[in-house]
Amino acid sequence: MAPFANLALLRTGMACLALLLGGAGALAFDLQGHRGARGLAPENTLPAFEKALRIGVTTLELDVGMTRDGVIVVAHDPRLNPDITRSPDGAFLTGPGKALTEMTLEELRGYDVGRARPGSRTARAFPDQTPADGARIPTLEEVFALAERLGARDVRFNIETKSSPLPDAATPEPRAFAAALAKAIDKAGLRERATIQSFDWRTLMALREIAPDIPRVCLTSEGSFDTLQRGKEEGSPWLGGLDVDDFESVPALVAEAGCTTWSPNFRNLTEALVDDAQDMELSVVPWTVNETEDMARLIDWGVDGLITDFPDKARTVMATKGLPLPAPVAP
């Protein structure tokens, strides 16, 4: 990348050229709607995914867990979250609910996740969310079916395994989780449109063996939530047996893990790290970028995509940068 004085300008120009030639293909900027479009609709619900598709995204980003009866369901938290969950009697939970792994799909269906609890952190963070009373935690199969029903046959799915190596995490066993997820993707015939991401690289290592042709995305975070844990003698439990201190850079660590994409917390990213990762043929798609100033800066650095709660804002920034926009699904 050194021969180019302005990598961001070059990449923007190449993307625009690809669009003019009839398809951006691999050069397309990857706009990912985080948990659907969490800033605008209740997270990880069918209304949120439909909202993202109507706005126009390249990829639906979503989280998955697994029920006691082995069904892959779309939810961020390993336990029912009282900020967004109402019990069958219509009242918000008063504390963390049961773990998904302790519940059957039929039991889970009794809970409403279509609105944030008034005054909760979620409600304060996303005041423009349109409630969708009656929304249930969907299965992954239902999300796939929604995209098919709406005619979104090019949209991709970036699926995060909500797994944790920490004690009492109440998340599925990594290999069984990975196998069930690969089976669900295969059942839908979507291997060519799916990526699997995780902070818990144990699931990614398992998928490397179970379904090596499904691209994997290494999520990382440094700060109050730290998955790298530099300088820790026994290494980080999040990295699937690897140790960040054994590598010259985080991109080198990610490449060794066998991921094709690195998704860091955008606050941990620098332009030099973007260049370093792309020199290793890694795509760089930071999370979760919600302010237009941050979006513009990262695009100028040449990132390959963004994960955002506000795909509508991101489209506006992309347009000002001359990037091709993914087509919205027609009403």
Residue 23 has pLDDT above 70, yes or no: no
Q: From CA 123, how far away is CA 14, in angstroms rounded?
A: 40
Q: Is 161 helix (H, G, I), strand (E, B) or coil?
A: strand
DSSP E strand boundaries for the chain: 30-34, 59-66, 72-74, 156-161, 194-198, 216-220, 261-264, 283-284, 305-308
Residue 326 lies in a domain: no
Residue 197 lies in a domain: yes
Burial class (CB in 10 A: 0-12, 13-18, 19+), 121: exposed
pLDDT of residue 30: 98
60: in domain = yes
SS3 (DSSP) at 279: helix
Count up the domains in the chain and report the number. 1
Distance from C-alpha of 28 to C-alpha of 22, rounded to nearest angstrom: 12
Task: Supply 222's token pair.
Answer: 């440094």
Residue 2: predicted pLDDT:
33
pLDDT of residue 5: 35
pLDDT at residue 18 tops 80: no
**What is the structure's pLDDT at 258?**
98
Rounded CA separation 111/65 (Å): 16
96 confidence band (pLDDT: 50, 70, 90): confident
- Determine the structural domain holding residue 250 and report its residue range: 10-21+28-320
Neighbours of 33 (CB within 10 A): 33
Q: Residue 284 domain-assigned?
A: yes
In a domain, 119, yes or no: yes
Percentage of residues in the chain having pLDDT higher than 90: 91
pLDDT of residue 205: 98
- Within a domain: 47: yes
Please compute the mean of the pLDDT values over residues 129-155 and round it to a whole number.
98
The per-residue pLDDT for 91 is: 97
Q: Is the pLDDT of residue 272 over 80?
A: yes
Query: Is the pLDDT reported for residue 13 higher than 80?
Result: no
| DSSP string across 136-149 | -PPBHHHHHHHHHH
Q: How many CB atoms lie within 10 A of CB 8?
A: 18
Q: Is pLDDT at 247 greater than 50 in this prediction? A: yes
Instruction: Read off the pLDDT of each residue in 6-10 and give the average, rounded to a whole number.
Output: 41
Which one, of 312, 330, 317, 263, lies nearest residue 38 by Cα?
A: 312
Rounded to an integer, the average pLDDT of 44-60 is: 98
Report the CATH number that the domain containing residue 179 is assigned in CATH: 3.20.20.190
In a domain, 325, yes or no: no
Does residue 328 form part of some domain? no
Output the six-digit token pair for 141.
Answer: 């199969």
